Amino acid sequence: MTNTPKTKVLVSDLAKSFKMHLRDGLEIPVVSGVNFSVSAGECVVLGGPSGSGKSSILKMIYANYRCQKGQILITDGDEIVNVADATPRRIIRLRETTIGYVSQFLRAIPRVPALTLVAEPLMAQGVAEDEAFERAGNLLSRLNVPERLWQLPPATFSGGEQQRVNIARGFIAHYPILLLDEPTASLDAANRAVVVELVEEKKTQGVAMVGILHDHDVRDAIADRIIDVTSFASAA
Amino acid sequence: MSLDIQSSEDFPLLQVSNTTKLYGGRIGCKDVSFDLYPGEVLAIVGESGSGKTTLLNCLATRLTPTSGSVNYRNRMGQMRNLYEMSEAERRMLMRTDWGFVHQHPADGLRMTVSAGANVGERLMAVGARHYGNIRDTATDWLGRVEIAEDRIDDDPRAFSGGMRQRLQIARNLVTAPRLVFMDEPTGGLDVSVQARLLDLLRGLVADLGLSVIIVTHDLAVARLLSHRILVMRHGHVIESGLTDQVLDDPQESYTQLLVSSILQP
């Protein structure tokens, strides 16, 4: 691995607002003039109070939200892709190989067991089923999800168990860019420590990370830089 | 043969341009254009009467569009306009390259012949002749859609709604089609049966690398199965894009209304 810092994400002049048609076209400004970059092996944390637009920025990088203005450049191997105007097919390919997203909430799929949910991103990257399941099991163990739950669909799990399944699903595969949307909210201290370890491991692998973390201990442990999102507040 | 398999994913399988269907003066669907790539699942959503099924039927050659063209890339890599093909060619395509899963299984199955024959019939249509092989393949497919082996000789009238729908799916997929059209495949099934069917479809689509165009009014079904979505209203496509983007950050007034109308269990 090279030591030269390499930009993986470059966000420039990004702006987002919501137009609420059901409320007479009310325009709700979220952020504007968002500028920052993230290098390989670096974890950048977005700071600011609730409602300041942190999640919206993360979702725009993942192309889950659209943006009205600006660009989001992603390094994908030898290519640079602008997420803000990439085709759906290109985004889907990026999400398979390049950008991962760890969210707070698990979208359980009917009948699919926890172990399969966790192994899926690996299999999508071409890892053999046996190996994918083995690695999924190891990660679930590390996150203290009891083995008796692995073959059950997580829809009926407790909130904390679902969240840990989701963290395992988010961390299992290698993505050069990883987005963390409050992965430690409502976890106990032991599991928070595991997440901190996982993030450190990703850093040594050169993964560029952008995160939202309200937990101060975790934030101090993993953040290389904190960006204050309130500086991007739209003039309302 | 100069078919370049490696790059075939870079070309659309289906190219739809300005497809329009008018019923007299009324619009069925108007000026619909999109490309569908191999392995892509496209959902067409919208409320009843929005033109979803009309569009699907125009694409699947079950209705003749008033204007516009639909081009399909055949196994030789040639783009062919469906409506310039002969009736025989189109029928051959329906039997070999395509599948069509109807909302009502009775429309897609032969209700008076056995489950095994329903599946075997499609195989024979593409040239299978050996009885033992046909029966083995049929048994294998019934297993994949979770129909017990000892039901192979029963006819679908003796099956529940969910089983009939799974049988219809087996009948469609047994010939390894490249493109499958689905019209509300989970409509009318109760939720647990629907969950089983969705899980099955999700697995099969991923394993077989199928291209699918699925019409549904259920946004949860669209989210679970599709990569891309077209939102239709009054026969027009009013919004389209990546499925989760359209559902989580809808831009158009009507899409916002649709998304906000979902009941959360």
Task: Give the 3-state secondary structure of residue A13.
Answer: strand
What is the C-alpha to C-alpha distance for residues A207 and A218, in angstroms, rounded to an integer? 18
First-to-last alpha carbon distance for chain A, in angstroms, is 45
Closest CA to B223 of B45, B38, B63: B45
What is the C-alpha to C-alpha distance for residues B236 and A49, in angstroms, rounded to an integer? 41
B245: nearest CA in chain A? Answer: A64
CA angle A164, A166, A168 (to 5 degrees): 70
pLDDT higher for B188 or B120? B120
Contacts of B36 (CB under 8 A, 6+ apart): B12, B13, B14, B15, B16, B42, B179, B211, B213
Contacts of B1 (CB under 8 A, 6+ apart): B76
Element (H, E) at B240: strand B236-242
ipTM: 0.90
Q: Which two tokens stand for residue B183?
A: 């019209």
Confidence of residue B180 (pLDDT cuts 50, 70, 90): very high
Q: Do A66 and B251 touch (CB under 8 A)?
A: yes
State the nearest Cα–Cα gap between A89 and chain B, in angstroms. 8
Q: Do A21 and B202 touch (CB under 8 A)?
A: no
Q: Do A88 and B242 touch (CB under 8 A)?
A: yes
Confidence of residue B191 (pLDDT cuts 50, 70, 90): confident
Q: In this structure, are residues A221 and A55 in contact, taking their beta carbons and an 8 Å threshold?
A: no
What is the C-alpha to C-alpha distance for residues A77 and B72, in angstroms, rounded to an integer? 32
How many C-beta atoms surround the C-beta of residue A61 within 10 A?
23
Chain A positions contacting chain B at CB under 8 Å are 18-22, 59, 63-66, 88-89, 91-92, 109-112
pLDDT at B7: 52
pLDDT at B264: 63
How many C-beta atoms surround the C-beta of residue A131 within 10 A?
12
Confidence of residue B265 (pLDDT cuts 50, 70, 90): low
A59: nearest CA in chain B? Answer: B245
pLDDT higher for A13 or A234? A13
pLDDT at A234: 72
**Region B189-217 average pLDDT:** 86
Q: Which two tokens stand for residue A219?
A: 């934030």
A64: nearest CA in chain B? Answer: B245
Q: Which residue has the tokens 């670096």?
A: A42
Count of pairs with CB atoms under 8 A, one residue in A, one in B: 47
pLDDT at B3: 43
A99-102 and A79-82: which strand pairing? unpaired
What is the C-alpha to C-alpha distance for residues B40 and A95, in angstroms, rounded to an integer? 15
**Region B147-176 average pLDDT:** 93
Q: In this structure, are residues B239 and B222 in contact, taking their beta carbons and an 8 Å threshold?
A: no
Task: Give the 3-state secondary structure of residue B114.
Answer: coil
Element (H, E) at A76: strand A69-76
CA angle A97, A8, A80 (to 5 degrees): 70
Q: In this structure, are residues B37 and B9 in contact, taking their beta carbons and an 8 Å threshold?
A: yes
Percent of chain A with pLDDT over 70: 97
Residues in chain B with CB shorter than 8 Å from the CB of A112 are 199
Q: Do B257 and A66 touch (CB under 8 A)?
A: no
Residues paired with residue B22 on neighbouring β-strands, in sequence order: B27
Residues in chain A with CB shorter than 8 Å from the CB of B198 are 110
Q: Do B249 and A66 touch (CB under 8 A)?
A: yes
pTM: 0.91
- pLDDT per position as a tens digit, B148-160: 999 999 999 999 9
Residue type, B62: R
pLDDT at residue A105 greater than cutoff 80: no
pLDDT at A5: 55
Q: In this structure, are residues B256 and B233 in contact, taking their beta carbons and an 8 Å threshold?
A: no
First-to-last alpha carbon distance for chain B, in angstroms, is 54
pLDDT at B8: 60
pLDDT higher for A44 or A159? A44
How many C-beta atoms surround the C-beta of residue B30 within 10 A?
20
Interface test with B, best of A26, A30, A64, A96 (most B CBs within 10 A): A64
- pLDDT per position as a tens digit, A6-52: 899 999 999 999 999 888 889 999 999 999 999 999 999 999 998 89
**Average pLDDT, rounded, for chain B:** 90
**Region B205-230 average pLDDT:** 92
Q: Do A91 and B202 touch (CB under 8 A)?
A: no
Residues in chain A with CB shorter than 8 Å from the CB of B248 are 59, 64-65
pLDDT higher for B3 or B20? B20
State the nearest Cα–Cα gap between A119 and chain B, in angstroms. 14
Q: Do A111 and B199 touch (CB under 8 A)?
A: yes
Residues in chain B with CB shorter than 8 Å from the CB of A59 are 248-249
Contacts of B203 (CB under 8 A, 6+ apart): none
pLDDT at A235: 58
What is the C-alpha to C-alpha distance for residues A61 and A84, in angstroms, rounded to an integer? 8
Q: Give the least confident one: A41-45, A155-159, A194-198, B136-140.
A: A155-159
